Structure 1
Amino acid sequence: MSVDNTPHRGKPASDELVPSRYALRIGEIDVLVISDGVLPLPFATMATNVEPAVRTAWLDNLFLPDKFDWALNVIVVRSGGRTILVDSGLGKEFSGFPRAGQLALRLEAAGIDLADLTDVVLTHLHMDHIGGLLGDGIRERLRPDLRIHVAAAEVNFWAAPDFSRTTMPSPIPDVLRATAQRFLKEYHSLLRPFEEEHEVAAGVVVRRTGGHTPGHSVVRLASGGERLTFAGDAVFPVSFEHPEWHNGFEHDPEASVNVRIRLFRELSATRELLVATHLSFPSVGRVAVDGDAFRFVPASWDY
């Protein structure tokens, strides 16, 4: 992947004091982790089946307030002549999140034009994963032959979503519904739904897991004996120590727990790299077994 790491006069990201992209290679596959920014969320929403005192103790142990900034990570993958964006972040369509929605600017700063993208893979259709494609002028800059890969179960679900098992504050469910339905209407002709698993490019496979949403999916990269999994919202910062804690955005909390534990066991066995949407940027690391739970082991930065 050709990544321009030098600052450019006048470019919006040139004066940022912290890095917002991190490049690595998985065999012959180029990967770029990009931060879409952060969004503030109350921790209670991330651990809905836990007593407040238990939540507070976990937060205090990490010196975190009850409401803190959750990372928003996406990846760009280049393999077999295809350039693939996995998720698109929040975008600028929603008020109250001034530090999120940075993807378009940070792609530009990295020397990647929206017209370079041949494919988009969506782990699911929550607004912080599709909003980056809904901004003014975005659709017009994309290739007319762009392929958007998303699980068929996800497309079907958002036609009439059921929020009965979620625990989200109002008006989030209504915003999620309206955003997903708008996205499906605007991008209908570009969608390439798959059932359970689909190879997007050489060594790039998207696989439906369900749980978080009915069509939630992860992306597995494999090349030259190396592997990486982009886990989307199957994983949150608290999930390693407490995979049994429910997230208020999960449409099937029990299934989500099973997905997490199964994924952690796979990753600890293969020792492959993990990247996830809401782990602190760049979120590159591995999973280790830690007694009856798990532990995230951040990879050393290669610079």
Structure 2
Amino acid sequence: MSETTRNVQPVTANLGKDGAGELVPSRYAVRVGDIDVVLISDGILPLPTSTMSTNVSQADRNAWCDGRFLQRDTFDWALNIALVRSGERLILIDSGVGDGFEYFTRAGRSVMRLESAGIDLAAITDIVITHMHMDHVGGLNVDGVKARLRPDVRIHVAAAEVEFWKNPDFSKTVMPEAVPPALRKAAAKFAQVYSESIVQFDQTVEIAAGVSARVTGGHTPGHCVVDVASNGEKLTFVGDAIFEVGFERPAWQNGFEHDPEGATDVRIALLNEAAATGSLMAAAHVAFPSIGHVAKHGESFRFVPVQWDY
């Protein structure tokens, strides 16, 4: 037995037992002025690498993966949600994938991790759904979750998003065959179960002091981002507008984008905005905790992760 193995054994031997905790961190907090923001990992979604670059050659995709020491066929997409506290309001941004999809066994951890952070679901006053894909509404669809939320919780969703999912168009997407039916099912269940709690908005809405959502479209017609601004500081949670590959290759289109060309324009605009202002950015599918700055790098961009403060 090597020295390395002996050192690891006492840690791994306790995994899964009461009080053992998690081997890796699952939440990370920052302050934006007077507002608290916590990024929480819902887990990992293993998906074909082809879905992150539908408009480029296999050779170009392989070169990008090789340069990052990644597998060529499957990419582990991070899945992050966020929690924001502004004054008396506690705001959840997205809810993770939930438990309804047997092929996503490494995700669906949001509710558990909120609880481990000491967050009572009944304390959440507002929820913002960046868009109604299953990995953003699925956590709310888990049996028993609605009953644990406060009766007057406000779930903010763009009106264009609600309308789109009444009869969604997948003609421009490039997804694994099993995904579109699952997306339809999750969106329909969410819209039905939470019909009385959904508060629709058009272009922008103020959720709380310093916290607002704005529609970008692109990824889905009603996709929105959430801006957190306080005392001259700012962080934008961009949802699915920017993926891991999007900094270096912003023109690479993602198979989950319902309007690939529009999504490219949105992505580049958000990257330019972040680079020009120096504000922080966080995203649903950038490696946890996904918080960092954006710098211009020739015709593309560079993601500069925050230095962890712990």
TM-score higher than 0.5: yes
| 1:53-202 mapped onto 2 (5 Å cutoff) | 53-65=59-71, 66-202=73-209
Partner Cα separation in structure 2 for residue 68 and residue 173 of structure 1: 19
- Number of residues of Structure 1 aligned to a counterpart in Structure 2: 294
Calculate the TM-score normalised by the size of structure 2: 0.93
Residues 109, 283 of structure 1: alpha-carbon distance in 2 compared, 3 angstrom cutoff: same
Query: In the alignment, residue 224 of structure 1 is paired with which amino acid?
Result: N
Residues 12, 62 of structure 1: alpha-carbon distance in 2 compared, 3 angstrom cutoff: farther
Residues 169, 139 of structure 1: alpha-carbon distance in 2 compared, 3 angstrom cutoff: same
Partner Cα separation in structure 2 for residue 186 and residue 13 of structure 1: 35
Query: In the alignment, residue 148 of structure 1 is paired with which amino acid?
Result: I
Classify the secondary structure of the residue corresponding to 2:307.
Answer: coil
Partner Cα separation in structure 2 for residue 13 and residue 251 of structure 1: 43
Q: Do structure 1's residue 290 and structure 2's residue 306 form an aligned pair?
A: no
Unaligned runs of 5+ in 2: 1-15
Query: In the alignment, residue 68 of structure 2 is paired with which amino acid?
Result: L
Partner Cα separation in structure 2 for residue 42 and residue 119 of structure 1: 34
Deviations 1:64-117 (A, max 9, x none): 002131111000000021000000000111101111000111001000011010
Moved over 4 A (4+): 10-14
- The sequence identity of aligned pairs, in percent, is 60
Deviations 1:7-53 (A, max 9, x none): xxx99785211000001100010111100011101110110001001
- Say whether the 8 Å CA contact 1:12–1:105 is kept in structure 2: no
Unaligned runs of 5+ in 1: 1-9
Classify the secondary structure of the residue corresponding to 2:78.
Answer: strand
Partner Cα separation in structure 1 for residue 204 and residue 274 of structure 2: 18
Q: 190, 213, 217: which is aligned to 1:206?
A: 213
Query: In the alignment, residue 53 of structure 1 is paired with which amino acid?
Result: A
Query: In the alignment, residue 216 of structure 1 is paired with which amino acid?
Result: H
Instruction: State the match for 1:26 in structure 2.
Output: 32
Classify the secondary structure of the residue corresponding to 1:104.
Answer: helix
Classify the secondary structure of the residue corresponding to 2:304.
Answer: strand
Which has more radius of gyration? 2
Calculate the TM-score normalised by the size of structure 1: 0.95
